[in-house]
Amino acid sequence: MQITVTVNGDEHTADVEPRLLLVHFLRDKLGLTGTHWGCDTSNCGVCVVWLDGTPVKSCTVLAVMADGHTVRTVEGLADGAALDPVQEGFVRCHGLQCGFCTPGMMMTARWLLDHNPDPSEDEIREAISGQSCRCTGYENIVRSVRWAASRGTEVSAS
């Protein structure tokens, strides 16, 4: 069936099977491979994107469910060449090693800071508790988000 999804502000129309998952639509149909595909069981959280402004695990959302709705992926975080403070925080605080979990972590972190500009360490850990990182032990991810929070609230809402 034909669907139209607004992704990072751009409308995309495509013919898809109803069983196509949103994560594969983004990666394979639109070439937006920043969203990663991991456990396929909504446990690991590497596929987190925003659907209508809310983080969801895109391996457990059908692409057809996004028809007529808006999606924001990690490709939509930066404003041109200017990184989102969350991205800059991950760079400065070594919030990643292998980088596999990073896009999902950053999408959840951006959402957290939009709703709670000065989160405590516990609040950050709670927010990302449905997302696995096998490299950092989460310590530097939490620091990265704190860095973005302390950097101020130039929040990019799209």
Partner 1 sequence: MGPMQVPAHFEYERATSVDHALALLAKWGSEARVVAGGHSLIPMMKLRLARPEALVDINDLEELAYVRLDGDVLAVGAMTRHADLLASPLVGEHYPIFHDAERVIADPVVRNRGTVGGSLCQADPSEDLSAAFAAVDAAAVVRGPDGVRRVPVREFHTGPYETVVAPGELLVEVVVPVRPGGGSAYEKVERRVGDWAVAAAGAAVWLAGDTIADAGIGLTAVGAAHFHAPAAEEFLRGSAATDSVLVEAGRIAAERCEPVADQRGPADYKKHLAGELTVRALRRAVARARGVA
Least distance CB 155 / partner 1 (angstroms) = 19
Q: Which helix (H) or strand (E) holds 98?
A: none
Say what angle helices 85-92 and 139-150 make with each other, to 10 degrees.
Answer: 130
Structure tokens at 66: 């996004």
Least distance CB 84 / partner 1 (angstroms) = 19
Nearer to partner 1, 123 or 154 (CB): 123
Residue given tokens 């402004």 in the structure block = 53
Least distance CB 82 / partner 1 (angstroms) = 26
Nearer to partner 1, 82 or 98 (CB): 98
Nearer to partner 1, 43 or 92 (CB): 43
Q: Which helix (H) or strand (E) holds 45?
A: none
**Contact present, 3 and 20 (Cβ < 8 Å):** no
Nearer to partner 1, 1 or 98 (CB): 1
**Contact present, 76 and 66 (Cβ < 8 Å):** no
Nearer to partner 1, 8 or 108 (CB): 108
Least distance CB 11 / partner 1 (angstroms) = 18
Binding residues for partner 1, per CB under 8 A?
A: 1, 17-21, 24, 40-43, 45, 48, 51, 54-57, 60-62, 64-65, 67, 108, 126-127, 129-131
**Contact present, 20 and 63 (Cβ < 8 Å):** yes
Least distance CB 132 / partner 1 (angstroms) = 10
**Contact present, 22 and 60 (Cβ < 8 Å):** no
